[in-house]
């Protein structure tokens, strides 16, 4: 099996996320032992952001890092475990709100695919980029 970054790269739908992780210097961390759970926005999720947002974030590494680490939870939290949660603390330090009454939502993002396993954690695919408060 591959690590989280390799799994995201091979999926082909996380090009923006992988580029952002690389730009922020988080690739080594997310390739490390972990385990981590990533709520991973697709390229389509990044495309929903206002024009120019991604480019400006790639130039503002502290803000980019804050947003990226807001998508990561320490530990391997599988979908069955997520279903039992109402919130989760992110690596960034903020809290994600989790609702499961009409599909699974993390803040305002819908989880579209779950339990993409990697050697050092798990990826859950989301349709919206999460923004820390």
CATH 3.30.1510.10 fits 4-126, yes or no: no
Query: What is the residue-level pLDDT of the chain in tens, covering all 133 positions?
Result: 899 999 999 999 999 999 999 999 999 999 999 999 999 999 999 999 999 999 999 999 999 999 999 999 999 999 999 999 999 999 999 999 999 988 999 999 999 999 999 999 999 999 999 999 8
Q: How far apart are the first and last CA of the chain?
A: 35
Q: Where are the domains of the chain?
A: 4-126
Q: At a CB cut-off of 8 Å and minimum separation 6, what does 83 contact?
A: 100, 104
Instruction: Give the Cα separation of 131 and 128 in Å (integer).
Output: 9
């Amino acid at each position: 099996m591959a690590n989280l970054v390799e799994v995201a790269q091979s999926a082909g739908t996380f090009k923006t996320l992988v580029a952002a992780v690389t730009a922020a210097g988080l690739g080594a961390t997310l390739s490390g032992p972990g385990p981590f759970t990533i709520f991973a926005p697709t390229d389509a999720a990044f495309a929903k952001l206002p024009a120019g947002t991604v480019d400006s974030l790639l130039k503002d590494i502290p803000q980019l890092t804050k947003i990226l680490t807001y998508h990561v939870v320490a530990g391997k939290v599988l979908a069955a475990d997520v279903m039992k949660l109402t919130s989760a603390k992110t690596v960034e330090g903020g809290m994600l709100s989790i609702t499961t009454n009409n599909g699974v939502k993390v803040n305002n993002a819908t989880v579209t695919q779950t339990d993409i396993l990697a050697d050092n954690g798990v990826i859950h695919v989301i349709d919206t980029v999460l923004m820390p408060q």
